[in-house]
Structure 1
Amino acid sequence: MSTQAKRDDDPAAIDRAEPIAGTQSLDRALTVLLQVAESPPPGLTLAACSSILGYSKPTTQRILRTLVSRSFLAFDEELGVYTLGVANAQIGSEYLHRLDLRKVALPQMRELVAATGETAHLGVVTGRDVVYIELVDSPHPVRIFSRVGASVPAYATAIGKAILAFTGSADLDAHIPESFTARTGRTIHDRAELESDLQKTRERGYAIDDEENRPGIRGYAAPIFNHTEAVVAAVSIGGPADRIDPDDSVLGTQIRSTAARISQLLGSRRSGQNQPDA
């Protein structure tokens, strides 16, 4: 096949192709499905769906019956309304199962690095440590040296504190040691100091590592939530202390917004202002 030829599975070729017969009906079916999903309980009547689509009731009913037959919609005979069907849950569950946190986060991390010029990390808490699972290097010749797979105490990092701040109290003890080892002169000393720091993190929606893990290195991190609204990771931005202000609200807003976008891609319905559930 010539390199100039259009492949049947090439999205760009599909976009340039002639309209496919029947796509308008498919578009209308998806429109009404999304409207039912966004409507408050108990659901939408045939008349409401007909108004949304701009079709007659008989035409609208044929579309709705097709969606019902494939379990994308369900019809409540007692109330006379259409609601979401079980097929949506099946597809949604499979979609979430296939999501790769690293793959979802990486484009957002690259945008963050492009905007700030500093290094971005993605990390999770395992036991009492943070493990870095992805990073995007700063373009500066002087930058943080780190690697995927490295682990550090959660209490001494912005990523760790961002995750701990939004971890339920019942699970928190498993991630906090009985004694704290000082990694620098600024490392948090004890649980009381950590809990105070976590409270500040919850209030502003992001954590700060003010040279607590390594001398001369500062970082900001915000929590990432999944479709169940559980905190599953955190994303950070960090670099030399002489380039990062410990009171930089703009950087704080940037990291919080990046984390919120990743969370939404994972199915979270939280807004950009992260608030604790517990």
Structure 2
Amino acid sequence: MRRALAVLEQVRDHAAAEGLSLTELADTLGLSKSTVLRLAQPLLDTGLLSRDRRHGHFRLGPGALALGQAYLAGIDLRTAAAEEAHRLMREAGGTVHLCVPDAPHIVYIDKVENETAVRMASRIGSRAPMYCTAVGKAMLAWLPEDVFAQVVDAGLPTVTTRTLTDPGLLRTELARIRNRGYSVDDRENEPEVRCVAAPIFDHNDVVVGALSVSGLTSRVTAARVRELGPAVAAAALRVSRTLGATR
């Protein structure tokens, strides 16, 4: 069984190419051609693999698609992110939020609080502006241009003295976020709160949410932000992979 799965994994890893020949599979796995054919036959019978008649190359079959769709149908964003959200809360010591886009706003769909820290005012189901929250900017950085226009058209009013209210400055900030992989709300939405967030992508590599860590500025210092950024980005990436993203 394990060797048969190795055959399937090799073909999967070359799914974007023309497939793999019998010789290539055998050489890569260190097996004889006859052994590869024997291991592949049940995978061909169940449709997990297919083999084209012209070249004899192995590719993923329709059964692999059905299996993937069944997997994706069995998970949702909250379920996929739950473990990472709790891990982040324990490691970062702040409040973790999971949000989804609803331009020009974001919606909080889950929240994991550190019981020893000051509680954040956010509530599951509540909304906040995209342009001045870390989760909002994390998603906006990868959303289409028309969403950016929708956010700007809705207005960029001042929330705190540090809120970005100029569309040009906001666009520059979104470029920085794409470059480093995470966003920062440095007292832009609440005067004494810093937040670090990263985007979550689905199996189509489309941004569907964001994961964040928030805390008072006395705990989430500027130096701490630089530590949290890569950690939050890594957690969001693991959630994305669970959802089938290939980024």
> Same fold judged by TM-score > 0.5?
yes
Write the mapping of 1:122-133 to structure 2, written as runs, cut at 5 A: 122-133=98-109
The aligned counterpart of 1:14 is none
From 31, 34, 38, the counterpart of 2:13: 38
> How many Å separate the matches in 2 of 1:203 and 1:48?
37
- The 8 Å contact of residues 226 and 268 in structure 1, kept in 2 or not, is answered as yes
Which residue is 2:236 aligned to?
Answer: 259
Q: CA deviation at 1:73?
A: 1.3
Pair 1:244 & 2:220 matched: yes
Give the aligned residue type for 1:94: A
| Residues 133-163 of structure 1: per-residue CA shift (max 9 Å, x gap) | 0111023242323221111111110000111
Name the aligned partner's letter for residue 237 of structure 2.
A
Pick from 204, 218, 228 the counterpart of residue 180 of structure 2. 204
TM-score, length basis structure 1:
0.81
Residue aligned with 2:173, SS: helix
CA distance in 2, matches of 1:133, 1:53: 44
Cα distance change of structure 1 residues 190 and 55 upon mapping to structure 2, 3 Å threshold: closer
Q: Retained in 1: the 8 A contact 2:94–2:117?
A: no
Contact 2:184 2:195 in 1 (8 A): yes
Q: SS at 2:149's partner residue?
A: helix
Aligned to 1:150, which of 113, 126, 134? Answer: 126
Q: Higher Cα Rg: structure 1 or 2?
A: 1
1-side partners of 2:32 and 2:229: how far apart? Answer: 52
Contact 1:143–1:240 (8 Å) recurs in 2: no
The aligned residue for residue 166 of structure 1 is: 142
TM-score scaled by length of structure 2? 0.90
By how many angstroms is 1:102 displaced?
0.4
Q: C-alpha root-mean-square deviation of aligned residues, in Å? A: 2.0
Aligned length: 245
- State the match for 2:116 in structure 1: 140
Structure 2 residue aligned with 1:11: none
Q: Indicate if the aligned counterparts of 1:234 and 1:259 stay in contact, CA closer than 8 A.
A: yes
Structure 1 segments unaligned to the other structure (5+ residues): 1-25, 271-278
- 1:106 is the counterpart of 2:117: no
Provide structure 2 residue ranges, at least 5 long, that are not aligned to the other structure: none
**What is the identity, as a one-letter code, of the residue corresponding to 2:229?**
G
Deviation at 1:113, TM superposition (A): 0.9
Q: Against the structure 1 CA distance between its residues 37 and 162, is the aligned structure 2 distance closer, same or farther, given a 3 Å change threshold? A: same
Amino acid at match of 2:8: L
Q: Deviations over 1:207-254 (max 9, x none)?
A: 111111111111111111111111111111011111112353111111
**Structure 2 counterpart of 1:217, one-letter code:** V
Amino acid at match of 1:121: H
Separation in structure 2 between the aligned mates of residue 63 and residue 203 of structure 1, nearest angstrom: 44
Higher RCO, 1 vs 2 (CA within 8 Å, ≥6 residues apart): 2
